Amino acid sequence: MKAVILAGGLGSRISEETYLRPKPMVTVGEKPVLWHIMKKFSLHGVTDFVVCLGYKGEVIKEYFLNFRKYNSDFHTLTRSGEVEILDEDIEDWKVTLVDTGSDSNTAERLKRVRRFLGQEDFFFTYGDGLTDQNLNATALFHASKGKTVTLTAVIPPARYGAVSIESGIVTSFSERTSAFDSLINGGFFLVNPRIFDTLSRLTNPSWELDVLPILAQQGDLAAFQHSGFWFAMDTLRDKEHLENLFLSGSAPWLM
């Protein structure tokens, strides 16, 4: 299977980082979050990627054109420019980089990479979310339901402390809290190519605002419920949380 990754948005909520580079190139442990997403897929046997570029797409192109050098030790001869890569354990990925427009909405970006996807089901995700979900189990679930799209439904992570107050007095305080009775779209999808029949009828569609509601109304949208780790990097605080997990050696998405 292939994986399509959206990597063209502005990432305005983390503008401290994205004024220089696109959001998927913001680093976690000195590697772009895009690398972490691809590494997660490769651990489940998915090594063929189509990356939808937009804002500052040239930064992502440059990274992959020099991927071996960025991710290896090497000798170089400064006069001749000759380079000898010293590491052999380099990711064996096929990466297709496609400029899908600076102002394209999410589903429009998917529509513009149709020619690279063939007739098989494919994964589809954003360039800022990490999870420890079993992608092979997700694929089996998707096949069993026979729907055009399967989304991953997750419990939103705690972001703020909860305070209980009675008569102006704090009666309890919880630093981390989640609403366990609510699920949100976790941004990892499995998609059948017949989705392009729907996309072809829409102009610059949004995946979230246009396409998913149509599929839900038609009863053509399945949901794989994942109760484990899931986290999206939206702010500097989120980046720091992911970085702490990675540096501690307990990054759930790489296990």
* pLDDT tens readout for residues 153-192: 998 876 555 555 465 544 555 555 555 557 889 999 999 9
DSSP string, 74-126: EEE-TTT--EEE--------EEEEEE--TT--HHHHHHTTGGGSTTS-EEEEE
Question: The domain 2-254: what is its CATH number?
Answer: 3.90.550.10
Which tens digits make up the pLDDT trace of 67-87? 988 888 888 898 898 888 887
pLDDT of 90 > 80? The answer is yes
pTM of the model: 0.90
Query: What is the pLDDT, as a whole number, of residue 242?
Result: 95
Q: Which residues pair with 223 in a beta bridge?
A: 151
| Residue 169 confidence (pLDDT) | 47
Task: Break the chain into its structural domains and give their ranges.
Answer: 2-254
